[in-house]
Amino acid sequence: MNRPLPGGHWGKSIEVDQNDPALCLGGTSRAETEEDHRGDSLVVIVDQRILERECLASSLLSLDPVVQVRAVGSFLELQDLQVEASAILAILNGKKITDPIVRSELQEFIALVGGVPVIIVADSEAPADILTALESGARGYIPTNVSVKVAAEAISLARAGGIFVPANAVLALRETIRATESSPKPLTGVFTSKEAAVVEALRKGKANKIIAYELNLCESTVKVHIRNIMKKLKATNRTEVAYKLRDLM
């Protein structure tokens, strides 16, 4: 990773002791890791907060001693490592991924690291935020209310080529889709209120006399409404009206 990395929200560098063991966890020295490790199990945490990133690095290592973990304060520091990671955790630190600046910098960074999976860690569980992260190229989204074990599994999934999203967000999206599918499309934008009532009756296959009785209208008035409906739908008969109405509902 020898190309320039974006600055701004993501690139504010923090002074960090380069000999700090938290920068290279996994039972080997920094020099040994940079010389021998080829990135197969190297996970890099990008977090401006020193304590939080060191704690997360130690926790991930405790779950899987084989994995190598690096913790840096910015994407700019990541460039200085001169190693290829198998996954990168980008901690938002309260930033909103829907912020155009944050999203743009994330997209630029993901493009620069090539095929290395980038996983977002954020406080929000809003489906819109998760979708924004995935649309930006992230290979996972970890909310901060999950356990370290879940986070480790999410990292493993991304390294294996998968994409992790929290189950709650998937369920919320499913309910939203169901609600959208089950809600009828409004007819008031196409028909008058009386025409819309006649439309509902036509969809049920009711005769003109029944429609007139139920809507307290004269049968001749019902016929006028039907003619107007046919004109608006460019239909020539009741059967064609019913067919075209199916696409509107």
pLDDT digits (tens, 9 = 90+) for 8-28: 545 443 333 434 444 444 443
Burial of 225 (0-12, 13-18, 19+ CB in 10 A): buried
Task: Say if residues 245 and 187 touch (Cβ distance below 8 Å).
Answer: no
| CATH number, position 239 | 1.10.10.10
Contacts of 40 (CB under 8 A, 6+ apart): 86
Q: Is residue 72 part of a domain?
A: yes
The pLDDT value recorded for residue 184 is: 57
Q: Is residue 178 part of a domain?
A: no
Task: Residue 211: give the domain boundaries.
Answer: 193-244
193 band by pLDDT with thresholds 50, 70 and 90 = confident
For residue 173, give both structure tokens. 């999206």
Residues 42 and 138 in one domain: yes
Residue for token digits 């890791």?
Answer: 33
Residues 53 and 159 in one domain: yes
| CATH number, position 146 | 3.40.50.2300
69 in helix, strand or coil?
A: strand
pLDDT at 144 over 60: yes
Q: Please give the model's pTM, rounded to 2 decimal places.
A: 0.58
Residues 114 and 152 in one domain: yes
Structural domains counted in the chain: 2
Residue for token digits 């912020």?
Answer: 99
What are the Cα distances from residue 135, in Å, to 115, 149, 192, 196, 248? 15, 25, 40, 39, 30
